[in-house]
Structure 1
Amino acid sequence: MLHVTGQKMTDRLRNWLRTGIILVLLAQAGQVGLALAQSNTYRVPGVVIAHSYARTGIYLGSPSLVILGDGTLAMSHDTFGPNSKANAEEVFNSHDGGRSWSKVATVGDQYYSSLFVHRGALYLLGTSKLLGVAVIRRSADGGKTWSDARDAGSGVLATDGKYFSSALPVVTARGRLWKAIEVIDHAGIIVKMMSADVNGDLLNASSWTFSNGLTPDKNWLDGKFGGWLEGNAVAMPSGAVVDVLRVYYNFLPEKAAIVSSSDDGSHISFDPEHGFVDLPGGGKKFTIRYDPSTKLYWSLTNAVLPGSYNGNNLERARNTLALVSSTDLRNWKVRRVVLHNDDADKHGFQYVDWVFDKHDIAAVVRTAFDDDDGGAHSQHDSNFITFLRVPNFASN
């Protein structure tokens, strides 16, 4: 059962919940339908897109969301866990603003992927499998059928390492498409940026530039740096592109890291003295997008707020989903709490990908929640993929 009150919550958190979760549910009732419309019998917040019982050992992850040119919502997700093959993306469409969803494709040998639209075509950009090669595929029919990534001329972009990513933004700036990506190495997670000319053949490896790699240093943050991963390519109003990464740092305030890129994408750099910033929820995966109408950067994060979490592992504090914004990527403000559950062990609203949809934010969520078989294995091992809206996101 979703909690919107609790003795351990501060008054401020209660107020955030009143303006957050209640508005979300009202918006779904009026605009996208309560989750019951999609066979949601578990009181899961949002519209259930996919569900997998914990006992299967297959958990649901890495949701990605885009809006197609005709208004169709397209989303994808992968699976993980002891019984997952970790090598396929499931693709769904919604033609009614998110009220209902239908599965349209299973894309094999594709993983850790981001959906994006470019010149009328839909693309999946990620890896070929868990810790695999970098690959891209294209669909001309809204995600029903996909190109086959066979070689460097048809979508295999890089084979020189164990590539890693998640459902993170592909952005356009200075005539190029950009995506942050990482490589797993004996020295840790190596950060890179990949980019391509907007006029290039995106299925051809020669169209893409991969930057140099940045190696982490355990001595950063006074020796409390635990690693970085799942970076966001963010296009700034100036046209410059940066990579904003989640940071393992088990202290408050949580941190993110900002990596700079050259204009052509060939070189990235990081200044550990000034590159770390305070970001609520920065220790978990997040998506950042810039909104020119408000002139703000926005994100939905697993912020750790007063009274919201009583554990000692901030990386697994995923029971609160907060809407945050910033004018400069360095100073962040919590705008409202969107979702919260007092139980942080088996409830999580995480790995959110989202898009601006007029005055709303439309989002897909990797959700750990109650079902009729004991619920999720843990807050991390999610048993649902859900859709929700944050209505009038800029209203407070």
Structure 2
Amino acid sequence: MKAVTRWDYRPFVRFDEPERALWPYICRVAPECGGFAFEWFDKGAPGTGHLLRYRRRGAVEWEVEQQISDPVIKVGGLCDGVDYEFCVLRADGSARSLVRLVRTGKIPGDTVVNYLHPEDPACIHSGYCLCTPTLVRAPSGKLICGMDVYARRGGQNLTLLFESQDNGTTWRYLAELYPCFWPKLFVHRSGLYLLAQTGEYGDLVVGRSYDEGKTWGLPTRLLPGTCLHFGPHHAAVPVGEYYGRLWTSVEYGSWAGGGHDMGYIYADADSDLTDPESWGISRFLRYNPGWEGAPPGAGRGMVAPGGGIEGNVTLDPGGNIVCLYRVDLTKAGGWGKALMLEIDRNNPGRGPVFRRFVDLPVGSNSKFCLQYDDVTKKYIALGSEQSETIKLRKVLSMAVSDDLVDWRVVHRIFDFSHLDEEMTKKVGFQYPDWIFDGDDILLLTRTAFGGAENYHNSNSITFTRIRNFRECIR
């Protein structure tokens, strides 16, 4: 066995069990009404006969065994809301995939990109929930998306990549990146890049793919982490180009360590982004509960620390670089606040400075994603809306603003506000990542629905096209 020279795997397996990489592998699962779909391959014996077996979970015998050859299989005629077990095996019995789990039934959104049952051990070395959706259109025109696999106190070190050649109608498996967590895909100068971390609070790294996501060289380390009590924190937040540089927010600290300080990284837009010498790291700013307008209960040092995380770098109407951060008010029972910091483009190493707090209905207790629309000249933020009557993350909404200060909700993309308190704990639409597509918005959502462990620990990543979104704004 040779030393590691790449970031990508198809699939990633334990290094003391290399033979598993040559067994049948189920690489994508998607529940449907009355059934489910899945994608698979067998690198060890691609031309031999294969069988699909499935049964209700807990049944002693396999209920169905059928021959398969197509890489994408649809199974129908099943009962909704029921857990099924299934696997793929070679007809000669020489190898089989892991037994996978799926709960049948419709999940809100146009398409389920990928699904992971909370008791499915397929990615247990990393986790059992699908999180951190990230979406980009590649230079060729195809869509590429990613997601990581999360579990509290789990390995948190695996990212799954998928592609769509038909604008999101169907999705196919692309690759797995390890170690890779909190991924953010972005395109710059026709190159496909990914900012991520090697684990929760692990090293902050950047990698590049020269074949639109199929293969990746080893990533470049930008900022060291510990994977324990403190380190960098970078979610799937915007990477923007302003005044000849790329900018994206990064925090430093940890939840367990008392909170996060706020900063950013930056690079010359014409530089080699895989060279660590190209990047600069700002000083980090500690949250100050004494800032004017600071909401009660926000800030470092809480049992569930608040302050600002997951910032969105953009330009304000005056052309200044600012960053809007999510403000955590969960323990205080609050909602609807975002924190705005300002960045000095002439002195980038200085770090951000406080400007103000903003009333933003999607600004607290969950990540929001903000972009500027050149057509309407408005700022658009998608995130989990909360209010006196809307708790947790059961409503995903679109808010708009002319000036980054005054915001209004214009559209509820997913609205399950009717759910009772108990059901609210099991449903979540959160952590959106999205791009413009002409008159539409293409949206990727971290979704907890149909048997998720809870609203936070999502079991699927879904794709949705918001058609003619500007009609909502006008």
TM-score by length of structure 2 reads 0.69
Cross-structure match for 1:92:
162
1:159 to 218, 224, 235: 224
8 Å contact from structure 1 (residues 259, 268) kept in 2: no
Cross-structure match for 1:205:
276
> What is the CA deviation profile of residues 15-54 of structure 1, one whole-angstrom value per residue up to 9, with x for unaligned ones?
xxxxxxxxxxxxxxxxxxx976983952111211111111
Q: 1:83 to 1:169 in 2, by over 3 A?
A: same
In 1, the alpha carbon distance for the partners of 2:356 and 2:32 equals 41
1:133 aligns with 2:216: no
Cross-structure match for 1:325:
400
8 Å contact from structure 1 (residues 256, 277) kept in 2: yes
8 Å contact from structure 1 (residues 253, 278) kept in 2: no
- Deviation, 1:68, is 1.4
Local SS of the residue matching 2:277: helix
1:224 aligns with 2:290: no
Cross-structure match for 1:247:
327
RCO higher in structure (CA 8 A, sep ≥6): 1
Cross-structure match for 1:260:
342
- The structure 1 segments of at least 4 consecutive aligned residues displaced by more than 6 Å after TM superposition are 34-38
1:293 aligns with 2:375: yes
Gaps of 5+ in 2: 1-30, 38-73, 75-103, 121-126, 299-305
Cross-structure match for 1:101:
171
Local SS of the residue matching 1:376: coil
8 Å contact from structure 2 (residues 336, 387) kept in 1: no
Cross-structure match for 2:23:
none
8 Å contact from structure 2 (residues 384, 430) kept in 1: yes
In 2, the alpha carbon distance for the partners of 1:190 and 1:83 equals 22
Cross-structure match for 1:43:
106
1:377 to 440, 453, 456: 453
Whose radius of gyration is greater, 1 or 2? Answer: 2
In 2, the alpha carbon distance for the partners of 1:206 and 1:105 equals 28
Local SS of the residue matching 1:275: strand
- Deviation, 1:268, is 2.8
> What is the CA deviation profile of residues 92-122 of structure 1, one whole-angstrom value per residue up to 9, with x for unaligned ones?
1000010111111101112112100011111
Cross-structure match for 1:270:
353
> What is the CA deviation profile of residues 296-334 of structure 1, one whole-angstrom value per residue up to 9, with x for unaligned ones?
11111111256444xxxxxxx100011111111111110
In 1, the alpha carbon distance for the partners of 2:154 and 2:172 equals 22
Cross-structure match for 2:360:
279
| Structure 1 counterpart of 2:457, one-letter code | D
| Structure 2 counterpart of 1:288, one-letter code | L
1:177 aligns with 2:246: yes
8 Å contact from structure 2 (residues 317, 403) kept in 1: no
Local SS of the residue matching 2:464: strand
1:335 aligns with 2:406: no
8 Å contact from structure 2 (residues 398, 410) kept in 1: yes
| Structure 2 counterpart of 1:256, one-letter code | A
Cross-structure match for 1:6:
none
Local SS of the residue matching 2:338: strand
- Deviation, 1:188, is 2.5
> What is the CA deviation profile of residues 225-249 of structure 1, one whole-angstrom value per residue up to 9, with x for unaligned ones?
1322111122345543211110012
In 2, the alpha carbon distance for the partners of 1:38 and 1:298 equals 34
8 Å contact from structure 1 (residues 158, 205) kept in 2: no
| Structure 2 counterpart of 1:280, one-letter code | P
Cross-structure match for 1:23:
none
- Deviation, 1:204, is 1.1
In 2, the alpha carbon distance for the partners of 1:368 and 1:187 equals 27
| Structure 1 counterpart of 2:411, one-letter code | R
Aligned length: 345
8 Å contact from structure 1 (residues 38, 100) kept in 2: no
Q: 1:239 to 1:142 in 2, by over 3 A?
A: farther
Percent of paired sites with the same residue: 33
> What is the CA deviation profile of residues 330-370 of structure 1, one whole-angstrom value per residue up to 9, with x for unaligned ones?
11110011102223210101001000111011011000001
Cross-structure match for 2:183:
113
Q: 1:237 to 1:103 in 2, by over 3 A?
A: farther
In 2, the alpha carbon distance for the partners of 1:35 and 1:393 equals 27
Gaps of 5+ in 1: 1-33, 150-154, 310-316
- Deviation, 1:275, is 1.2
Q: 1:143 to 1:248 in 2, by over 3 A?
A: same
In 1, the alpha carbon distance for the partners of 2:36 and 2:244 equals 41
Local SS of the residue matching 2:119: helix
